[in-house]
Amino acid sequence: MHRFLFVGDSMTIGSAGDHTWRFRMWQHLSTSFGGPFRIVGPRDELYDKAADAPVSYAYGDPDFPEHARGHLAGWGEGWLHMAPLIRETVATHKADTLLVSLGLIDLGFYTNAEQTADNVRLFVEEARAANPRVQAVLLPVIPNVRAMSDAPFAAEVDRFDELLAKAVAELDTPRSPLLLASRPAGWDLHRDTYDGTHPNASGEHRLAAAFADAMHQAWGLGGPYTGCA
């Protein structure tokens, strides 16, 4: 049984009414993985903007089964917040593959590019402490509305993405492989988000495709993404 764990910020947890890219990935794996798998994680809720808390279970598609809703994602959380949690989470849920989309929150509110990259390295170290054979796909920070209007922030994003690529190259091992996913192909803030940052249905598919295609091309896990993107 192969176990996948989604790790992310607001784009991964989603908010009330969203399908989430987690749902799109679950759909993809259900038809392409070719063996038994589970989606695992200590959380299963969506963020409720009205309550300003992760207390919603109003997923956009009721066919998303409860047993597949697990994740380690949080609205306003980043590498800084997840690094201290990942060892226990991987150990408890026996995760084999981590699908990680983090960084925007860190750079926007907490840490600069170098500090954020240090937390990436700590995250990987902690995950491997729980499972020395864990593998992970890491997504760079993707285009967002703040980077369009805030030049210093955009520069930090570019610098972090460079450092992330370097960290993945240096930390990748045959025993515990790491992949750097490509930014979602053709990502467009107007078409793929509802507010310049958070994915709409089109964006959810493109995020899922970025992870699915990376795993398929590098590791032969699943097939190429065939959902609507």
Share of the chain above pLDDT 90, in %: 97
Count of the separate structural domains present in the chain: 1
Domain containing 205 equals 2-219
Q: What distance lies between CA 158 and its chain's CA centroid?
A: 18
Contact of 140 with 187, CB cutoff 8 Å: no
Contact of 18 with 29, CB cutoff 8 Å: no
Asked if residue 158 is part of any domain, the answer here is yes
Asked if residue 133 is part of any domain, the answer here is yes
Residues 147 and 80: their CA atoms lie apart, in Å, by: 20
Nearest to 207 by CA among 182, 178, 184, 181: 184
Asked if residue 226 is part of any domain, the answer here is no
Asked if residue 229 is part of any domain, the answer here is no
What average pLDDT does the structure give for the chain? 97
Asked if residue 224 is part of any domain, the answer here is no
Asked if residue 11 is part of any domain, the answer here is yes
Contact of 219 with 177, CB cutoff 8 Å: yes
- What 3-state DSSP class applies to 66? helix
pLDDT, tens only, 114-150: 999 999 999 999 999 999 999 999 999 999 999 999 9
Asked if residue 165 is part of any domain, the answer here is yes
What CATH number corresponds to the domain at position 214?
A: 3.40.50.1110
CA dihedral 13, 170, 127, 105 (to 10 degrees): -30
